[in-house]
């Protein structure tokens, strides 16, 4: 391990905004012969507002946040909202935690853990929105490894408040289409989408085009200037989706690659269904081409 990383890891321990629990603190013993992940609650679960932020403002997560580009940028725009970036890479989190500390940003925190463990850290309805920014599409890996798979949506549902939004922003058309198929087979409400946000833009369906939401949902609002409110938390404009760019996103734009965006609600009773034949894996895998292997080479990571 290089001296630079060691220095960052050491400094990480000094950042109040960065929580780095040991995996053993949330992993409970498995039942004999079982491979299922068994978690036990971390003390911060249900207590982020009180113990980390000192208020009861809405909480937004960026999962797989890397350097925390979205976490930092959105927190600067919305001081009335608390933002938490989650990633397993300490060297990446150092960048966001350092900036948040130097700029004394009280509404920013970071959590170093595996996304698989996320349910151990957040209580029912504790989170208002989730951002998935340029997640690995797991083209040839397990479907359950995709952060928008039914397995992960079920985990998010345990702590996302009713009507909460999941935002997916990615250069992977494969992941965009897969997630769209998951939404379709589960009748999840899509509140905004775009297959080329810097070209064709983002489409916000008219209210009549969306499924009739249960009474617990907060329906989207619409403005004459093209902005839209994704629930009752804050009005997120199309401009905001495109103006905040991650390290990866800037690189992909320089390469001329289209950026996709999907925002949807995961309110759903019962088990989530897998897309099955509703998603043509081979077709979209072929369409994806070699760019994913290029864009995710180790030396290109955040």
Q: Which of 24-28, 232-236, 297-301 has the lowest mean pLDDT?
A: 297-301
- Sign for the pseudo-dihedral over CA of 29, 62, 175, 249: negative
pLDDT attached to residue 246:
85
Nearest to 227 by CA among 242, 238, 216, 241: 238
- For residue 221, name the pLDDT band (cuts at 50, 70, 90): very low
- Catalytic, 56? Answer no
pTM to 2 decimals? Answer: 0.87
Q: What are 77-133's pLDDT values in tens digits?
A: 999 999 999 999 999 999 999 999 999 999 999 999 999 999 999 999 999 999 999
Structurally, the chain folds into a number of domains equal to: 1
Residues 6+ apart with CB under 8 A from 73: 244
- Sign for the pseudo-dihedral over CA of 292, 181, 275, 187: positive
State the CB neighbour count (10 A cutoff) for residue 125: 13
CATH of the domain at 82: 3.40.50.150
pLDDT mean over 258-283: 95
- For residue 237, name the pLDDT band (cuts at 50, 70, 90): low
pLDDT attached to residue 245:
87
From 41, 87, 136, 171, active-site residue:
136
Contact 122, 44 (CB under 8 A): no
Buried b (16+ CB within 10 A) or exposed e, 71-85: bbbbbbebeebbbbb
Q: Containing domain of residue 98, as a range? A: 3-300
Contact 15, 101 (CB under 8 A): yes
pLDDT attached to residue 223:
30
């Amino acid at each position: 391990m290089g001296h630079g990383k060691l220095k960052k890891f050491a400094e990480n321990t000094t950042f109040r905004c960065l929580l780095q629990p040991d995996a053993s603190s949330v992993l409970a013993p498995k039942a004999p012969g079982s491979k299922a992940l068994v978690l036990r609650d971390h003390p911060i679960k249900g207590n982020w507002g009180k113990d980390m932020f000192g208020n009861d403002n809405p909480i937004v997560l960026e999962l797989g946040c890397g350097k925390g580009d979205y976490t930092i940028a959105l927190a600067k725009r919305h001081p009335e909202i608390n933002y938490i970036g989650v990633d397993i890479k300490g060297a990446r989190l150092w960048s966001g935690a350092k900036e948040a500390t130097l700029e004394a940003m009280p509404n920013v925190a970071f959590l170093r853990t595996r996304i698989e463990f996320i349910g151990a850290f957040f209580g029912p309805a504790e989170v208002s929105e989730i951002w998935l920014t340029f997640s690995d599409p797991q083209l040839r890996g397990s479907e359950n490894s995709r952060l928008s798979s039914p397995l992960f949506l079920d985990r998010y549902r345990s702590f996302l408040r009713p009507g909460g939004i999941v935002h997916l922003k990615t250069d992977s058309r494969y992941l965009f289409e897969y997630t769209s198929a998951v939404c379709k087979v589960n009748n999840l409400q899509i509140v905004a989408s775009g297959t080329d946000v810097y070209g064709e833009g983002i489409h916000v369906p008219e209210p009549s085009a969306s499924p009739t939401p249960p009474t617990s949902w907060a329906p989207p609002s619409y403005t004459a200037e093209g902005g839209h409110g994704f629930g009752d938390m804050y009005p997120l404009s199309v401009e905001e989706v495109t103006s905040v760019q991650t390290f990866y996103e800037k690189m992909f734009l320089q390469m001329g690659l289209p950026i996709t965006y999907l925002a949807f609600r995961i309110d759903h009773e019962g088990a989530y269904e897998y897309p099955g034949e509703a998603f043509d894996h081979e077709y979209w895998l072929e369409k994806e081409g070699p760019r994913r292997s290029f864009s995710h080479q180790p030396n290109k990571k955040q």
